[in-house]
Structure 1
Amino acid sequence: MKFLAVCTLVPILALAFQDIGSEYGGMGWLTYDYVAWPIMVAPVLMLFLFFRNRKIVCNPHLGANFSQTIKIVAVMYLVWNIIGALGYSWLAVISILSCLAILVGDWQLKKRAGV
């Protein structure tokens, strides 16, 4: 869960720091590139985390909180990366596919386990 929290909070904190730093801190060099890359990298790391802990997802007593949290965060990053793919870089497609793999993989693992 700690790794998932880091994947969730680091891009959000980068966005807050960029907004505050460029507006009030006089840091004009702090562009949206510093925010876009953590938002695009986090879903790929979450996909790695999901595949490492796929046995936890199958067991509802152990992994209900993990499964629900990773799905919510995947949907959040899916929305942000769709916006990023349209406006920033086509490389966000890799993150979009990672988010979709998490959502479909969770559904398939629960279906296979009979949960």
Structure 2
Amino acid sequence: MKSLAAFTLVPILCFAFQDIGSKLGGMDWLTKGYAAWPMMIAPALMLLLLIKNRELIRDPRRGSNFSQVIKIVSCLFLIPNVFAAIGYSWLAVISVLSSLTILVADRQLKRQGRA
């Protein structure tokens, strides 16, 4: 859960720092890429975390919180990454696919755990 929290908070904090620093602080070196790249890397890291902890999702008593949080966070990053894929970089398609894979794999792992 600590890794998932880090993968969630770092891109959000980068966006906040980029917005505040570029507008109020006059820091011109804080570009949109400073905030966009952590947002695009986070879903891929969360997918690796899901693969590593797939046993938690199969056991609903131990991993129900992990399953819910990773689904919510992947949905949180899905929409901005779709816009990033359209307007910023085509590499955001990897993040979109990672987020969709998390949503589908979570459901499949839960079904396997019930059976």
Tell whether the structures are fold-level matches, with TM greater than 0.5.
yes
Superimposed CA distance per residue, residues 52-95 of structure 1 (whole angstroms, 9 cap, x where no aligned partner):
00000011110000000000000111111001001100000001
Superimposed CA distance per residue, residues 8-67 of structure 1 (whole angstroms, 9 cap, x where no aligned partner):
000000000000000000101211000110000000000000000000001111000000
Runs of at least 4 residues of structure 1 off by over 2 A?
none
The 5-angstrom pairing of residues 73-112 of structure 1 reads 73-112=73-112
Distance in 2 between the 1:7 and 1:113 partners? 26
Give aligned-pair identity as a percent.
59
Matched residues, number: 115
TM-score by length of 1: 0.97
Structure 2 regions of 5+ residues with no counterpart? none
Superimposed CA distance per residue, residues 84-107 of structure 1 (whole angstroms, 9 cap, x where no aligned partner):
001100000001111111110000
> Superposition RMSD on alpha carbons, in Å?
0.9
| Pairing 1:24–2:27 present | no
Letter aligned with residue 63 of structure 1: G
TM-score by length of 2: 0.97
Letter aligned with residue 23 of structure 2: E
